[in-house]
Amino acid sequence: MNEQGFAGLVSIMDRLRSPGGCPWDREQTMGSLRTYLVEEVYEVIEAIDSGDPEALKEELGDLLFHILFLSQIAKEEKTFDIWAVIDRISNKMVSRHPHVFGEMDVSSPGEVEKNWFDLKNKEKNHRKSILDGIPRQLPALLRAYRLTERASRVGFDWQKRDDVLGKLDEELDELNQALSEGHQEKIEGEVGDILFVLVNLARLTGSNPEEALRRTTEKFIRRFHHIEVTLEGSHKTLKEASLEEMDRLWEQAKWKE
């Protein structure tokens, strides 16, 4: 989209929020748009995964419109507008890439990432902890991944993968103890500890736990759909099928993959 087209989109947003605009758009607040914004981000991710450029183009447009929407509300509140947002991110990208826009030399993507983190810390020197700035609203697995990744940058990390596996065994023993006691709060706490250790294991093996679980969830859906479709072809419902029959169809779907 060229600059004129972008300015035109800004004008559309302005009109939608004007007294003669859309009643629904006019009554929205930053708070009311939060859920829609999260949904749009996930729809962008889904479009990326689909490999469909038309779907991605549409979803990126929807996300861009939400950014304009929030900026328009801020403009009405006389705090900032979309042009201030663009100025801020433009300045940030230049300052965070001194190897491109300045004289700094880098030799690898890892060095770029380290420099980015150092520059960010200097800009955010008002923060009391290096863990500050990671949103609480992130999915739990992703948040744990980002928190432990941040801590690892200052040396607070496992030294080797086998140490994490040993910790996992320890946590499983503690879960078994909690299960034998039947204490629900302790059980939940131990399950959380196991998940946290698994996040670290994923990180140390170069995996993103959020992405890993997402892929496994999609795999579960595909295989379960195979069970449903096969049973339907046999004029059977899920309730009529035995666990053994469903297990056999699951293994069949697994074999086909």
Give the range of the structural domain holding residue 48, as residue numbers without chain letter: 3-94
Which residue among 73, 94, 115 closes a domain? 94
Scanning the structure block, which residue is given the tokens 């038309």? 54
21 and 89, same domain (yes or no): yes
- What's the CA gap between 125 and 74, in Å, rounded? 26
- The first and second tokens of residue 196, run together, are 């946290």
pLDDT at 112 over 90: no
Total number of domains in the chain? 3
Summarised one tens digit per residue, pLDDT across range 34-47 is 989 989 999 999 99
Q: What is the DSSP letter of 138?
A: S
Q: Is 4 exposed, middle or buried (CB count within 10 Å of its CB: 0-12, 13-18, 19+)?
A: exposed
Structural domain contains residue 84: yes
Structural domain contains residue 233: yes
Structural domain contains residue 78: yes
198 and 222, same domain (yes or no): no
Give 180's contacts (C-beta < 8 A, 6+ positions apart): none
pTM: 0.69
178 and 192, same domain (yes or no): yes
Scanning the structure block, which residue is given the tokens 């250790």? 197
Structural domain contains residue 118: no
Question: In the predicted model, what is the mean pLDDT of the chain?
Answer: 92
184 and 244, same domain (yes or no): no
Mean local confidence (pLDDT), 125-152: 88
Which residue among 70, 94, 118 closes a domain? 94
Summarised one tens digit per residue, pLDDT across range 159-187 is 888 999 999 999 999 999 999 999 999 99
Structural domain contains residue 183: yes
Residue 165: which CATH number?
Answer: 1.10.287.1080
DSSP labels, 24-61: HHHH--HHHHHHHHHHHHHHHHHHHHHT-HHHHHHHHH
Is the distance from CB of 238 to CB of 228 less than 8 angstroms? yes
DSSP labels, 101-118: HSS----SHHHHHHHHHH
CA torsion sign for 166, 171, 176, 180 is positive
Scanning the structure block, which residue is given the tokens 């859920």? 35
- The first and second tokens of residue 166, run together, are 């040993």
pLDDT at 149 over 80: yes
Please give the pLDDT value at position 48: 94
Summarised one tens digit per residue, pLDDT across range 188-239 is 999 999 999 999 999 999 999 999 999 999 999 999 999 999 999 999 999 9
Taking the CA of residue 255 as centre, how many other CA atoms within 13 Å lie in the half-sphere pointing to its CB? Answer: 6
Structural domain contains residue 135: no
Mean local confidence (pLDDT), 113-137: 82
